[in-house]
């Protein structure tokens, strides 16, 4: 199993932007130092707690601050951009990272972002798929361009001057283009079918229960079977909130601290879902009465916490339950106590992961 970092990011309201941004940078650098395979960053415009307006710009900066870790957009919302512009930005970033880029794509989900960009009422899923195909054609063809899409057209016919280098849109460093991923959250999500159809690596969100994640693999495997493809757990990433301490008691106390990093996060997510009338999506069990759900219930069921031995056992149990994912995405949480959160990452990478992989090796050999 490989270990990666997924950062929305999420920071408590009222914290200084420059301070939380420095923490995001520090956490990416720590992940690189600890041997994490990948680090992903999200995209939001109109949110005090998730102030990464450009994952491309953030990752361009992190390319010079890290040595080996792969850098992923988690995700860039394709409907927000003209495909020719975005394809050019992605090509630049792929070169700046020397091919360490993974392109996570999505439709955009934050209502205020969608509103401010004038996308209310638009079929953003259709726009995402249209943009994806247009960008692929840009990266694999040369001018003159006359590429027709549903929502955009890519045209450069009258201003192509080969002798002056005018006309070509830039190609990516990785050929034919960077590996791509898509985020998935709702039960039996159709995004898993899109992942199978378009060869996208699926990422199951951390703010859904394990029973929901299990449906993701079921749908993905079903769609692969229909397409004559073999589902491969190596392509599947599962995000989870994880906290590791020296003892189970220490970890439990930290996770359950009222207003602490994990408690605040799930309190916030619970309020968001409740305001959307969708608190039932946070049900820890498939038959949980939505009226009984509290943020504490969600927190205690969604966070994997404990000593290294306990956390390793919980990760293996999760994999047995949901399906054969081969990359675990540790979700970043607010560094309300930097030393404690850094230690948790260190224990996860240097103690927990070796235990997990040793057990997986035993089971494969049996």
- Contact status, residue 238 vs residue 322, Cβ threshold 8 Å: yes
Residue 73: beta bridge partners? 41
Confidence of residue 366 (pLDDT cuts 50, 70, 90): confident
Mean pLDDT, residues 209-228 taken together:
98
- pLDDT score of 158: 96
Q: What are the strands, taking DSSP E only, across the chain?
A: 2-7, 38-41, 70-73, 76-77, 101-106, 145-148, 153-156, 180-184, 201-204, 237-244, 303-306, 327-331
- Write out pLDDT tens, residues 60-89: 999 999 999 999 999 999 999 999 999 999
Q: DSSP string spanning 105-155?
A: EE----HHHHHHTT-TTS-HHHHHHHHHHHHHHHHT--SSEEEE-SS-EEE
Report yes or no: 206 and 281 within 8 Å, Cβ to Cβ.
no
The pLDDT score that the predictor gives to residue 280 is 87
The 10s digit of each residue's pLDDT in 151-206 is 999 999 999 999 999 999 999 999 999 999 999 999 999 999 999 999 999 999 99
- What does the pLDDT average to over 214-218? 98
For residues 134 and 154, the answer to whether their CB atoms sit within 8 Å is yes
> Can you tell me the distance from the alpha carbon of 234 to that of 324, in angstroms, rounded to the nearest whole number?
8
pLDDT averaged over every residue in the chain: 97
pLDDT band at 218 (very low <50, low <70, confident <90, very high): very high
Domains of the chain, CATH where assigned: 2-242+325-354 (3.20.20.30)
Query: In this predicted structure, what is the pLDDT of residue 143?
Result: 97
The pLDDT, as a whole number, for residue 49 is 93
Burial class (CB in 10 A: 0-12, 13-18, 19+), 159: exposed
Q: What is the pLDDT of residues 306-363, one digit of tens each?
A: 999 999 999 999 999 999 999 999 999 999 899 999 999 999 999 999 999 999 999 9
* Sign of torsion over alpha carbons 320, 325, 326, 331: negative
Residue from 2, 5, 75 nearest 236 by CA: 2
pLDDT at residue 181 in the model = 98
pLDDT digits (tens, 9 = 90+) for 113-166: 999 999 999 999 999 999 999 999 999 999 999 999 999 999 999 999 999 999
167 and 159 in contact (C-beta within 8 Å)?
yes
- Compute the distance between CA of residue 187 and CA of residue 172 in angstroms, rounded to an integer: 34
Question: How many Cα atoms within 13 Å fall on the side-chain side of residue 190?
Answer: 4
pLDDT of 336 reads: 86
pLDDT single digits (tens) 263-307: 999 999 999 999 988 888 899 999 999 999 999 999 999 999 999
pTM: 0.97
What is the DSSP-derived secondary structure letter of residue 255?
H
Instruction: Determine contact, residues 329/239, Cβ cutoff 8 Å.
Output: yes
């Amino acid at each position: 199993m490989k270990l990666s970092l997924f950062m929305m990011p999420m920071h408590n309201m009222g914290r200084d932007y420059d301070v939380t941004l420095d923490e995001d940078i520090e956490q990416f650098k720590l992940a690189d130092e600890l041997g994490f395979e990948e680090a992903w960053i999200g995209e939001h415009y109109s949110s005090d707690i998730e102030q990464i307006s450009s994952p491309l710009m953030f990752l361009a900066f992190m390319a010079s601050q890290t040595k080996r870790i792969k850098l992923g957009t988690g995700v860039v919302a394709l409907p927000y951009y003209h495909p020719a512009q975005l394809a050019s930005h992605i090509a630049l970033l792929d070169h700046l990272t020397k091919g360490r880029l993974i392109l996570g794509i999505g439709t955009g989900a934050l209502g205020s972002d969608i509103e401010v960009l004038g996308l209310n009422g638009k079929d953003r899923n259709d726009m995402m798929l249209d943009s994806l195909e247009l960008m692929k054609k840009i990266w694999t063809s040369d001018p003159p361009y006359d590429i027709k899409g549903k929502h955009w057209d890519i045209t450069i016919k009258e201003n192509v001057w080969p002798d002056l280098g005018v006309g070509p849109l830039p190609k990516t460093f990785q050929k034919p283009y960077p590996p791509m991923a898509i985020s998935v959250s709702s039960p039996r999500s159709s995004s898993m079918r899109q992942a199978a159809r378009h060869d996208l690596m699926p990422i199951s969100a951390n703010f859904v229960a394990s029973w929901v994640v299990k449906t993701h693999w079921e749908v993905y495997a079903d769609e692969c079977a229909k397409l004559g493809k073999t589902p491969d757990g190596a392509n599947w990433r599962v995000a989870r909130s994880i906290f590791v301490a020296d003892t189970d008691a220490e970890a439990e106390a930290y996770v359950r601290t009222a207003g602490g990093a994990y408690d605040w996060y799930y309190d916030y997510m619970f309020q968001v879902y409740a305001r959307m009338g969708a608190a039932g999506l946070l049900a820890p069990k498939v038959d949980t009465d939505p009226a009984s759900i509290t943020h504490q219930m969600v927190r205690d069921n969604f966070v994997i916490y404990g000593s290294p031995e306990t956390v390793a056992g919980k990760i293996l149990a999760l994999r047995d339950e949901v399906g054969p994912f081969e990359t675990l995405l540790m979700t970043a949480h607010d560094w309300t106590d930097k030393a404690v959160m850094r230690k948790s990452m260190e224990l996860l990478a240097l103690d927990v992961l070796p235990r997990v992989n040793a057990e997986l090796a035993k089971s494969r050999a049996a």
